[in-house]
Amino acid sequence: MTLTAVIRQNWRGFAMDVSFSARPGVTALFGRSGAGKTTVVNAVAGLLRPDFARITLADLVLSDTATQRFLPPHRRRIGYVFQDARLFPHLSVRANLDYGRRFAPRAERPPAARFDEVVSLLGIAALLDRRPGALSGGEKQRVALGRAILSAPRLLLMDEPLAALDEARKAAILPYLENLRALGLPILYVSHSLAEITRLADHVVMLDAGRVAAEGPAARVLSDPASAAALGRETGALLIGRFAGIVEDGLALLDTAAGALHVARHDLPPDLASGATVRLRVLASDVMLALDVPQGISALNVLAGHVDRIDTAPDGSVLVRLLLATGNGTDPTNTAPALLSRITARSLRQMGLRPGQPVHAILKSVSITDIAARPWPGMAS
Ligand SMILES: Nc1ncnc2c1ncn2[C@@H]1O[C@H](COP(=O)(O)OP(=O)(O)OP(=O)(O)O)[C@@H](O)[C@H]1O
């Protein structure tokens, strides 16, 4: 099941023209405030009839301005989870969940056993008889997730589902969101938190001023110089690898397709199993370049590669994209591992960098702190 969307909308001072698709798994819709995320969500949900739209979910036409077809929101088979849980305050948790189930078409209504399964998946069995007013923010969001799943949706639409939660509650609910991947549905996940995207996204659609700045597998999009317009100082790359264990002096060893990396142990979950998939965001401003293998430096990670392309970032600095020589490690995405390095125009001149040139990337262990671990091995992207 795949969502495809072509949406054009003109408002005074804002023109949207986007085209993207979302396959089963988590597709993150990412962009700065005002980039157009809510406009896309509303068009997919059927809350907005854009100037032009062709939106389909597998064989189901949701909106098609060319043929004047427009499925009303309640017939779109979309499960929603918003920033605020929007539960019915006068109904118990059980009745809220049942409401989702009754919403499903009769032929596809989940059996009672499915109810128990979802309740256990989300850890909400103890809450069933309570009213939403007696739940914490994180508990409400889990119930809202359950209600969405039990409506037998063909698509899950999550609009900043964690934005209203504090860090501790976010951390508690993220594993449940990861588990949703097992449903095999497309999940459109709207967020402007790069940490959430790093952790959850299989695919990323990066929006910038109403346009798709970049789209594709998370590792590729988050390492694309075109993302600099949306990411600014957070521009960097996503590397994927596996946790290989703790070495004698206490550093954690990660096995990535670009070679072994050492990072500080405290930046990883304490109970991480060997072989767990790990994703690292490496900021472009944390990557130094050298033409030769550097000697006598404190940085522990030196990765060999070559210059792929050189761009000027919106702030005038230079972004060098490197493709790294692949080592023994495996990257489940099969995306060539890449890094971005932000340097000055003077360094570019002095080093005489040009595409194809072999270089070494230098990463300090202590600067790699944006690490997300999935506790199971081998998950795609
Ligand atoms: N009904 C409307 N009429 C006119 N302009 C609108 C309307 N809805 C949204 N816009 C404009 O469209 C642009 C995109 O808005 P949208 O809410 O889609 O952005 P967003 O990426 O979701 O932002 P945020 O992260 O702040 O929620 C903004 O410039 C907004 O002012």
Reading the chain (381 residues) residue by residue, the pLDDT tens digits are 899 999 999 999 999 999 999 999 999 999 888 999 999 999 999 999 999 999 999 999 999 999 999 999 988 989 988 888 789 999 999 999 988 777 777 777 777 778 888 888 788 999 999 999 999 888 898 899 899 888 889 999 999 888 878 887 787 788 778 878 888 899 999 988 888 888 889 999 999 999 998 899 988 898 888 888 788 888 999 888 889 988 878 888 998 888 888 888 877 777 788 888 888 889 999 999 999 988 877 778 899 999 999 999 888 899 999 998 875 444 445 567 889 999 999 999 999 999 999 999 999 887 777 777 765 444 443
Q: What's the domain range around 128?
A: 3-231
Q: What is the pLDDT of residues 245-284, one digit of tens each?
A: 888 788 889 988 888 888 888 777 777 888 888 888 899 9
Claim to verify: residue 9 and residue 149 sit in the same structural domain? yes
Claim to verify: residue 106 and residue 195 sit in the same structural domain? yes
Ligand 1: distance of its center to the CA of 14 in Å? 8
Claim to verify: residue 201 and residue 260 sit in the same structural domain? no
Q: How many domains does the chain have?
A: 2
Claim to verify: residue 168 and residue 131 sit in the same structural domain? yes
- The DSSP output letter for 114 is H
Q: Three-state SS across 136-149?
A: CHHHHHHHHHHHHH
Write the DSSP string, 31-96: --TTSSHHHHHHHHHTS---SEEEEEETTEEEEEGGGTEE--GGGS-EEEE-SS----TTS-HHHH
Alpha-carbon distances of 222 from 194, 209, 248, rounded to whole Å = 9, 18, 33
**Domain CATH number, residue 323:** 2.40.50.100
Claim to verify: residue 175 and residue 205 sit in the same structural domain? yes
Closest atom of ligand 1 to CA, residue 48? 1
How far is it, in rounded angstroms, from Cα 365 to Cα 269?
A: 16
Task: Indicate the residue among 209, 231, 253 that finishes a domain.
Answer: 231
Task: Indicate the residue among 175, 197, 231 that finishes a domain.
Answer: 231
Ligand 1: distance of its center to the CA of 86 in Å? 21
* Residue 185 C-alpha from the chain's centroid: 15
| Test site for ligand 1: of 10, 38, 162, most ligand atoms within 8 A of the Cβ | 38
φ, ψ dihedrals at 300, nearest 5°: -95, -15
37 lines ligand 1 (CB under 6 A): yes
Claim to verify: residue 129 and residue 46 sit in the same structural domain? yes
How far is it, in rounded angstroms, from Cα 365 to Cα 158?
A: 34
11 lines ligand 1 (CB under 6 A): yes
Ligand 1: distance of its center to the CA of 38 in Å? 7
Ligand 1: distance of its center to the CA of 36 in Å? 6
How far is it, in rounded angstroms, from Cα 31 to Cα 194?
A: 10
Q: What is the pLDDT of residues 288-321, one digit of tens each?
A: 999 998 887 777 889 999 999 999 988 889 999 9
ipTM here: 0.96
Task: Indicate the residue among 198, 231, 264 that finishes a domain.
Answer: 231
How far is it, in rounded angstroms, from Cα 44 to Cα 35?
A: 16
The secondary structure element, H or E, covering residue 217 is: strand 211-217
| Test site for ligand 1: of 7, 8, 12, 14, most ligand atoms within 8 A of the Cβ | 14
Instruction: Say if residues 381 and 202 touch (Cβ distance below 8 Å).
Output: yes
**Domain CATH number, residue 176:** 3.40.50.300
Using CA positions, which residue lies closest to atom 6 of ligand 1?
11
Claim to verify: residue 178 and residue 199 sit in the same structural domain? yes
Claim to verify: residue 133 and residue 240 sit in the same structural domain? no
Using CA positions, which residue lies closest to atom 4 of ligand 1?
11
Q: Assess if residue 303 is contained within a domain.
A: yes
Q: Could you count the other beta carbons within 10 Å of the beta carbon of residue 249?
A: 7
Claim to verify: residue 217 and residue 254 sit in the same structural domain? no
Helix (H, G, I), strand (E, B) or coil at 249: coil
Q: Assess if residue 254 is contained within a domain.
A: yes
